[in-house]
Structure formats: C-alpha cells, structure tokens
Amino acid sequence: MVRGVLTRAFRHPEDTFAFRNETLWSYSRDPVTGKQRHEKRSPPPEYHLRCFVMARSAKQFFAHARFQPEGDRVESAVYAGRIEEVVGRSPRSTSRESDRVLFPGYASLREFSRDHEDLCKARLGAAWQSYMQRGHWRMVMPYTRRGQLREAQRLLESVRAQRASVVHVFTFPALTLNHAILAFETTETPEGIRFLTYDPNSPDTVLELDFLSRERRFRMPATEYFLGGDVDAYEVYCGPFL
C-alpha cells in the first residue's frame, strides 16, 4: 500500500470508540498493605480483554477510514464489510485520501460506533489478539532508565508526527498493569513530558501519561484498574518487530 500523508492530528473524542473495553477483574486497594487486589467479576463482562484491539483499531480508522456526514447511510451489512476492510489494513501504514474506506452518513468514529456498537465489537478483533500482539516480546526484556528515556523521545517524535501512537504500558514481572493506550498529544510539564492518551477502558476521559525527566521513568495516575505509579512503556504497531 502506498503510504499517504496524515493532514491532521488525532482528536479526542471524535476519533475514539463510544463504547469501552470492560475489565475482567474488579480492583481495589488493600487497606492494610496498600497493595492492589482483584477478583473476577461475576457474571463476566461481555466485552473485555480488548484494549490492544481497540487502541489498534482506533489507529487504523484514523489512518485508513474517511467519514462523510453528508452522505446517505447504508445498510449494516455494508458497514460491517467496511469495518473489516479497515482493520484488515496495516496499522503501520497510512492510506491516501482517495484510497480510504468510506463511511457515509457519519461525521466521526465516535458517532459511528455509538450507533453501531455491536457491529464494531463483532468485527474489530478477538480478545486473543491482545495477547498475541507481536511486540509483546519487548515487555520481558530488561528496562533501564536510559532505555526509557530513549522510548520517551521516540514516542514524543511519533506523537508530534501525528501517528496516533499506541503505547504498551505495564509493570513487569508483577503485571499489576498490562494495558494499551493511544497517545495523541504532548505538553511540557515542570517534571518532563505529559502525553495525553485515549484509554479504551475509559473512552470519555483523557488519560495522562507522564515521563519524569529527572527520574527517567513513566508514571500513570490512579484509575479504576490501576493504583497509580511507575510503569514501563514503549510504542507498538510502529515497526517490523513491534
């Protein structure tokens, strides 16, 4: 596929899905130790373990789809085929405007996925794809503070280039966090760099991922699934081995 040129930045919430990735576990803080504890939800949520699927798909829609609000809406079966075409294209490339998959009758992915939630959930990808993302090998390798500085610099360049950068954030080997978010904007802080991200687990809010320059490490705030604190991070869907 010929690489197109991205002419705008990723927008939140317009370029995100209207539904969320549910967590399979419910999380809480142990009042004695302060550590994170969890238990399986019963009954289990219907749509879960798809944070990588949703972050990757948001990137693919940004790179390969075109929404046409003035167009006439079509049948669900047609939209279904077009969703499959979008997620069948590489998240590591960008379509030219003339080659993008057309979604008439809608102004944005957020609007489209609000009306066609079930259609999207059925066709974006299965939960196993979150586990089989080919960049996962990098998670088990040693992470140094110098290495995380390089990762932060690469991520900064990627976001500034408007690539809709999918970021794997995790704690290893504890794995109290193993998650995918999409960084779309950066800003400087007194401590370093703040990345504004789309979190598939919480699509209506912007999640802040900070890189602390002096400590050379990433930090995430507390969420409903993470107590907050230091994490390791690297970009995925960005190269032959990631």
Asked if residue 177 and residue 114 are part of one domain, the reply reads no
Q: What's the mean per-residue pLDDT of the chain? A: 94
**The last residue of a domain, from among 130, 163, 181:** 130
Burial of residue 21 (number of CB atoms within 10 Å: 0-12, 13-18, 19+):
buried
92-128 pLDDT, tens digit per residue, is 999 999 999 999 999 999 999 999 999 999 999 999 9
The stretch 182-202 carries a mean pLDDT of 97
Task: Using the 3D structure, point to which of 130, 152, 179 is the last residue of a domain.
Answer: 130
The answer to whether the bond into 190 is cis (omega within 30° of 0) is no
> What confidence score (pLDDT) does residue 2 get?
44
Which residues 6+ apart lie within 8 Å of 7 measured at CB? 97
Whether residue 156 is found in the same domain as residue 108: no
Tokens of 209: 């991922």
What is the band of 175 on the pLDDT scale with cuts at 50, 70, 90? confident
Task: Evaluate whether residue 145 is within a structural domain.
Answer: yes
| 170, 188: one domain | yes
114 and 195, same structural domain?
no
- 177 and 103 in a single domain? The answer is no
Which residues neighbour 229 within 8 Å (Cβ) at sequence distance 6 or greater?
A: 219, 220
Residue at 17 is within a domain: no
**pLDDT value, residue 117:** 98
13 inside domain: no
What is the structure's pLDDT at 205? 97
Q: Are residues 100 and 169 in the same domain?
A: no
- Please report the pLDDT score of residue 29 as a whole number: 76
Assess if residue 2 is contained within a domain. Answer: no
Q: Are residues 122 and 173 in the same domain?
A: no
Number of domains in the chain: 2
Residue 185 predicted with pLDDT over 50: yes
Q: What is the pLDDT of residues 153-162, one digit of tens each?
A: 999 999 999 9
pLDDT at 116: 98
Note whether residue 1 is domain-resident: no
Same domain for 171 and 88, yes or no, is no
Whether 10 maps to a domain, the answer reads: no
pLDDT for 32 equals 74
114 with 148, same domain: the answer is no
Span 140-153, mean pLDDT? Answer: 94
* Single-letter amino acid code for the residue at 154: R
pLDDT tops 50 at residue 164: yes
Is residue 46 assigned to a domain?
yes
**Do 172 and 120 share a structural domain?**
no
Domain boundary among 130, 150, 185: 130
pLDDT (tens digit per residue) in 34-45: 778 778 887 889
Q: Judge whether 48 lies within some domain.
A: yes
Distance CA 5, CA 161 (A): 10
Domain range spanning residue 39? 25-130
Together in a domain, 106 and 140: no
**How far, in Å, CA of 228 to CA of 181, rounded?**
15
* 108 in the same domain as 194: no
